[in-house]
Amino acid sequence: DAGVTQSPTHLIKTRGQHVTLRCSPISGHKSVSWYQQVLGQGPQFIFQYYEKEERGRGNFPDRFSARQFPNYSSELNVNALLLGDSALYLCASHTGNANTGELFFGEGSRLTVL
Amino acid sequence: DAKTTQPNSMESNEEEPVHLPCNHSTISGTDYIHWYRQLPSQGPEYVIHGLTSNVNNRMASLAIAEDRKSSTLILHRATLRDAAVYYCILREDAGGTSYGKLTFGQGTILTVHP
């Protein structure tokens, strides 16, 4: 079975540009979360979605937005890119049953902002 | 968010047991203790989680102190593939369909020597 898939795996943008990152959760999983991991630090929570509804938002500016589609895939959008947005963006999927302990992470999209 | 404290780094020899400690003195009664690990160039990977009782799975064991203010992840026989950053995380039981967020710290860098 396919795990969590993310695209693109690597991309380079310049300051002020916009980026869209995509995530396909594990088949049957209804919840998707997004995390940002800056080099040398642990991942930081950005968003969680379940059944197309936002269920949580981390401490990130409004330049960051996301959505979840009827097929449970998700997009993370970042506008007006700053150098500090350079990071590994991780998507994680979950069944939607909070009693299940495991989040499944993808390998991430590495964004470099020049 | 309740915080965890872990050593920055630990070393082990291959095929020896490894005990990774974590302090979480501000843990609340509804917080689950989760461990994830992150191998180089990969997304985090679930290892184990527990609430009050010790837990075992195919990857590791989790020993939880009686007062729940500390826990220890035990790798019974370390392999080179276990070299990773290990994160100890407290997750609040949000209930229902909301997994909630994981608040990652700096983690413990585990080095395994052949």
| Per-residue pLDDT band at A16 (split at 50, 70, 90) | very high
pLDDT of B103 strictly over 90: no
pLDDT 10s digits, A35-56: 999 998 999 999 999 889 998 8
Cβ neighbors of B7 (< 8 A, separation 6 or more) are B20, B21, B108
Residues 7-46 of B with CB under 8 A from A: 32, 34, 36, 41-46
Q: What is the dihedral of CA A17, A45, B108, B84, to 10 degrees?
A: -60
Q: What is the mean pLDDT of chain A?
A: 93
Q: Is B86 on the interface with A (CB under 8 A)?
A: no
Q: Is B72 on the interface with A (CB under 8 A)?
A: no
Enumerate the residues of chain A whose CB falls inside 8 A of the CB of residue B42: 107
Inspect the interface and report whether the beta carbons of A103 and B46 lie closer than 8 Å. yes
Distances (CA, A) of A43 to B12, B65, B89: 25, 26, 11
Taking alpha carbons only, the member of B20, B24, B44 closest to residue B90 is B24
Alpha-carbon distance A58 to A52, whole Å? Answer: 17
Q: What is the pLDDT of residue B56?
A: 95
Alpha-carbon distance A38 to A40, whole Å? Answer: 6
Q: What is the pLDDT of residue B29?
A: 86
pLDDT 10s digits, B29-66: 888 999 999 998 899 999 999 999 999 999 999 999 99
Of A4, A43, A104, the CB nearest to B104: A43
Do A18 and A33 contact (CB within 8 A), yes or no? no
Q: Nearest chain B Cα to A49, which residue?
A: B98
Q: What is the pLDDT of residue A5?
A: 97
Q: What is the pLDDT of residue B18?
A: 97
